[in-house]
Amino acid sequence: MEIVDNLKPINTLKQALDIVQGVSSPGKMPVPAYNLPIDKCRTGRKLRVMKDKKGRITVCSNCYAGKGNYKRYEKNILPALYRRLEAINNPRWVDAFVYILTHQKQILKHKVFRWHDSGDIQSPDHLDKIVQIARRTPRIKHWLPTKEARDIKNYPGPVPGNLVIRLSGTFVDGPPPDYINTSVATSDVDKVTCLASLPKEHPKKQIGCQSCRECWDATVKNVAYFNH
């Protein structure tokens, strides 16, 4: 029965969304995104309890996906995130994602997609599936933020030009990591380059990404977010 199911073509967005167990809708993004449980971040969950010798906290210790609405509605949100995690093993996960990215209206309009507004790459195989999806959706720009340096540095083979992998810095106010595209979190508003991340009382505060696409732009070496 499962084999027959696996052979069925994906014909509707609902069918594709059922296979991947839905996508997320982060407020500031122009398009749907995708998220996984933060307790399954392999590097992130270690960083959540770490400080450096100068007492600097890690970016993960203050993860927005562990507070605010995520925390308030965790009874509803967490089971969905775990279903999404399990769905990665579905043999049709890649096909379903390709279907979503080539049929969902907002994604078609803006031609961008953000991976992991919470959560991270689960394994080298998971990364490879994301690379396959990016390769099969050349008109969509993908932004993949990650803390999994080993997976991305050891990835065997080129990643397509429409997939921008940004390795995130470890410590708040720390330096960017050693990688092609990076991001950092800073407590200094004058160092912030993502205007959408500024505190709401800041005069340059931008509501959502609007026309900014810096995170998806491979020519932008580093993006600095305000650490809330």
For residue 181, give every residue at least 6 positions away whose Cβ sits within 8 Å of its Cβ, in sequence order, or none.
Answer: 164, 165, 166, 167, 218, 220, 221, 222
Q: Does 81 bind ligand SF4 (CB under 6 A)?
A: no
- Give me the least distance between CB of 169 and ligand SF4, in Å please: 15
Segment interacting with ligand SF4, rule: CB under 6 A, options 96-104, 152-160, 168-176, 210-218 = 210-218
Nearer to ligand SF4, 85 or 209 (CB): 209
Strand order in the sheet with 33-35: 33-35, 112-118, 141-146, 163-168, 182-186, 222-226
Binding residue (CB under 6 A) for ligand SF4 from 10, 149, 212, 218: 212
- Smaller CB distance to ligand SF4: residue 56 or 213? 213
Segment interacting with ligand SF4, rule: CB under 6 A, options 4-12, 81-89, 133-141, 213-221: 213-221
Q: What is each CA distance from 114 to 29, 164, 185, in whole angstroms?
A: 8, 10, 18
**Residue 96 interacts with ligand SF4 (CB under 6 A): yes or no:** no
x-or-dash string of contact with ligand SF4, 176-205, rule CB under 6 A: ------------------x-xx--------
Does residue 213 belong to the site contacting ligand SF4 (CB under 6 A)? yes
Contact 139, 170 (CB under 8 A): no
Residue 128 makes contact with ligand SF4 by CB under 6 A: no
CA angle 200, 202, 207 (to 5 degrees): 50
Beta bridge partners of 24: 33
Here the tokens at position 110 are 């803006």
Calpha distance 152→134 (Å, rounded):
15
Q: Which of 185, 209, 226, 227 binds ligand SF4 (CB under 6 A)?
A: 209
How many CB atoms lie under 10 A from the CB of residue 6?
A: 11
Residues binding ligand SF4 (CB under 6 A): 194, 196-197, 209, 212-215, 223
